[in-house]
Homo-oligomer: A and B are copies of this chain.
Amino acid sequence: MRFRSLLAAGCVMLMAPAMAFSVTPAVRAPATQPSIEEWGVFDQSFSGPSAGNPFADIELSARFFSATESVTVRGFYDGQSQYRIRFMPGSLGKWSYITQSNCDRLAGLTGSFQCVAATGENHGPVRVAHIHHFAYADGKPFVPIGTTCYSWVQEPDEIEEETLASLRASPFDKVRMCLLPGKKTPLFYPYVRDAQGKFDPARFNPEFFRHLETRIEQLGRQGVEADLILFHPYHKGEMQWFDDLDDAADDRYLRYVVARLGAYRNVWWSLANEYGQVKNKTDADWDHFFQVVESADPYGHSRSIHNSAKIYDSNKPWVTHASIQNGSAVADFGRAVLYRELWPKPVVYDEVCYEGNIDRRWGRLSGREMVERFWLGTIAGTYVGHGETFSNSKGISWTGEGGELMGQSPARLGFLRKILESGPTDGIEPIDETYETHFGGKAGEYYLVYFGTEKPTAWKFSLPRDPPNKNALREGMKFHVDVLDTWNMTITPVDRVFTTGKLAESVFPADGDAMVPLPGTPDMALRIERIK
């Protein structure tokens, strides 16, 4: 069957081994592109056969090699006889490629480009750094202040543009978004229909993906990571079918997605939203999907999976960070850190209920509750995600469809982001988390103390020793204190220097039992920085 369709498509299939590349010099090699930024997208199309089913029948990949590296990436069929290879170079200098294919027209094609230094806000893809944190490939810390707009790329153009504008004006630098459409009628479907009007799981719709890619590129230019949710349980009607494919079709979908989108530096892979609710998928399926994505993606984009009741085992080696739905874990002190202690990976509480006013208890946090959850997560050395359920005049909500941000939390999360971006470059670590649940920071250097709903009128200066870094904090160190109003977004310096006194069991009180005056209002925090 397959052999026949390839012949019908005008291919001479290379027989053995199927993916060996032709050694014949390619005469149809496209022109060399002059230069691509490091972590930019090298994108090259090739003409090829369109008969049969190119999505299923034609295998295409390219080996890219520089003086010191070799990376193989899969290509994809982009419709209308066009095949495409995308590649994100991760080091400077000349890169060359040669294609491999089971179709002779697409095999052995070669080309090259020059990889030049990144410019502007191109810092490369985000990766795990310092165990529990993130950084761009160029080393710049990445502090995720994420939000959720599940279906924003399934909306009319003006709404999508509004979403982009809202993000531009917001502090959010990561957005969780579903790749597959769900409950509404989208502009584009990821699959095309067959003659009977039914979706064909073996034929993708390039238009759907080109639209998505445009949006991902735009997010990238705005400095927003696209945390792409690959499966979800929210399909309705004929779209239910999207998460009920057979194994081969699931794998083909994942490989097609990675081949198309993997070269965009701001892509993250979230295997699923509420994975336990996705029909007809087993625990073994999720393990397998992770492995398919991991092996298809030569760039090592972040990989996680989001839970409903059952939490996926983040110890598994293909999980780069834990993506947790649990509002309670960041609703009070001493909770968020418990998960962090289990895994040598970042913990992102991606869903912690939403700011809003709907009559469901997961969708009616006040703005201050949302902000508090971010701070509680932060001092525990974890990250938190935002969402909003307010329905706007068009009847849509930020977390459902995007559009406008209406809540009170985003401005305050911008304040938090600024605090964190001016903090330790290796992230906020919990400090003596078993006994001192209000402290995060970097031992001996920098502390955040958060008070939540408490309304202290003063705080007796005292810094706990960090058990794993016992000698980082010592007697006689000098500190500056800023009082942070996390709600009113003010930073008030305290006009005196605090000096650590003698160790008292596990804490260093200040010389003279010095006090930090506080206004007796909630949502206060302290930033305590060592003076060197």
Measured CB to CB, the residues of A under 8 A from B are 309, 311, 313, 315, 326-329, 331-335, 338-339, 341-342, 359-361, 433-435, 437, 467-468, 505-506
Out of B328, B335, B467, name the residue touching A435 (CB < 8 Å).
B328
Can you name 8 A-B residue pairings with CB atoms under 8 Å? A309-B468, A313-B342, A315-B315, A327-B434, A331-B334, A332-B332, A335-B335, A360-B505
Instruction: Give Cα distance in the complex from A345 to B327, angstroms.
Output: 23
The residues of B that contact A315 with a CB separation of less than 8 Å are 313, 315
Whole-angstrom distance between the Cβ of A316 and the nearest chain B Cβ: 9
Report the 6 A-B pairs with minimum CB-CB distance, sorted nearest first: A328-B434, A338-B338, A313-B315, A335-B335, A328-B334, A311-B342
The oligomer's copy count stands at 2
Instruction: Give Cα distance in the complex from A360 to B434, angstroms.
Output: 14
Taking a contact as CB atoms under 8 Å apart, the answer to whether B361 and A506 are in contact is yes
Taking a contact as CB atoms under 8 Å apart, the answer to whether A338 and B333 are in contact is no
Instruction: Give Cα distance in the complex from A505 to B327, angstroms.
Output: 18
Whole-angstrom distance between the Cβ of A472 and the nearest chain B Cβ: 16
The residues of B that contact A329 with a CB separation of less than 8 Å are 334, 338
Out of B339, B361, B434, B468, name the residue touching A338 (CB < 8 Å).
B339
Out of B309, B313, B328, B334, name the residue touching A467 (CB < 8 Å).
B309
Whole-angstrom distance between the Cβ of A123 and the nearest chain B Cβ: 32
Whole-angstrom distance between the Cβ of A313 and the nearest chain B Cβ: 5
Instruction: Give Cα distance in the complex from A505 to B433, angstroms.
Output: 35
The residues of B that contact A435 with a CB separation of less than 8 Å are 328, 361
A332, A335, A505: most-surrounded residue (chain B CB, <10 A): A335
Taking a contact as CB atoms under 8 Å apart, the answer to whether B328 and A433 are in contact is yes
The residues of B that contact A327 with a CB separation of less than 8 Å are 434
The residues of B that contact A311 with a CB separation of less than 8 Å are 341-342
Instruction: Give Cα distance in the complex from A326 to B341, angstroms.
Output: 11
Instruction: Give Cα distance in the complex from A434 to B308, angstroms.
Output: 12
Instruction: Give Cα distance in the complex from A467 to B361, angstroms.
Output: 13
The residues of B that contact A505 with a CB separation of less than 8 Å are 359-361
The residues of B that contact A360 with a CB separation of less than 8 Å are 505
The residues of B that contact A332 with a CB separation of less than 8 Å are 332-334
The residues of B that contact A326 with a CB separation of less than 8 Å are 338, 341, 434
The residues of B that contact A359 with a CB separation of less than 8 Å are 505
List 7 extra interface pairs beyond A309-B468, A332-B332, CB under 8 A.
Answer: A309-B341, A313-B342, A328-B433, A332-B333, A335-B335, A339-B342, A360-B505
Instruction: Give Cα distance in the complex from A435 to B352, angstroms.
Output: 11
The residues of B that contact A335 with a CB separation of less than 8 Å are 334-335, 338
The residues of B that contact A339 with a CB separation of less than 8 Å are 338, 342
The residues of B that contact A434 with a CB separation of less than 8 Å are 326-328
The residues of B that contact A309 with a CB separation of less than 8 Å are 341, 467-468
Whole-angstrom distance between the Cβ of A100 and the nearest chain B Cβ: 39
Whole-angstrom distance between the Cβ of A47 and the nearest chain B Cβ: 50
Instruction: Give Cα distance in the complex from A341 to B342, angstroms.
Output: 13
The residues of B that contact A341 with a CB separation of less than 8 Å are 309, 311, 326
The residues of B that contact A333 with a CB separation of less than 8 Å are 332
Whole-angstrom distance between the Cβ of A276 and the nearest chain B Cβ: 11
Instruction: Give Cα distance in the complex from A315 to B467, angstroms.
Output: 27
The residues of B that contact A342 with a CB separation of less than 8 Å are 311, 313, 339, 342
The residues of B that contact A334 with a CB separation of less than 8 Å are 328-329, 331-332, 335
Instruction: Give Cα distance in the complex from A435 to B329, angstroms.
Output: 10
Instruction: Give Cα distance in the complex from A361 to B505, angstroms.
Output: 8
Instruction: Give Cα distance in the complex from A359 to B338, angstroms.
Output: 26
Whole-angstrom distance between the Cβ of A504 and the nearest chain B Cβ: 10
Whole-angstrom distance between the Cβ of A330 and the nearest chain B Cβ: 10
Instruction: Give Cα distance in the complex from A433 to B434, angstroms.
Output: 22
Instruction: Give Cα distance in the complex from A332 to B337, angstroms.
Output: 14
Whole-angstrom distance between the Cβ of A275 and the nearest chain B Cβ: 15
Whole-angstrom distance between the Cβ of A483 and the nearest chain B Cβ: 26
Whole-angstrom distance between the Cβ of A327 and the nearest chain B Cβ: 6
Residue of B nearest to A326 (CB): B434
The residues of B that contact A328 with a CB separation of less than 8 Å are 334, 433-435, 437
Whole-angstrom distance between the Cβ of A172 and the nearest chain B Cβ: 24
Whole-angstrom distance between the Cβ of A48 and the nearest chain B Cβ: 46
Residue of B nearest to A341 (CB): B311
Instruction: Give Cα distance in the complex from A506 to B361, angstroms.
Output: 9
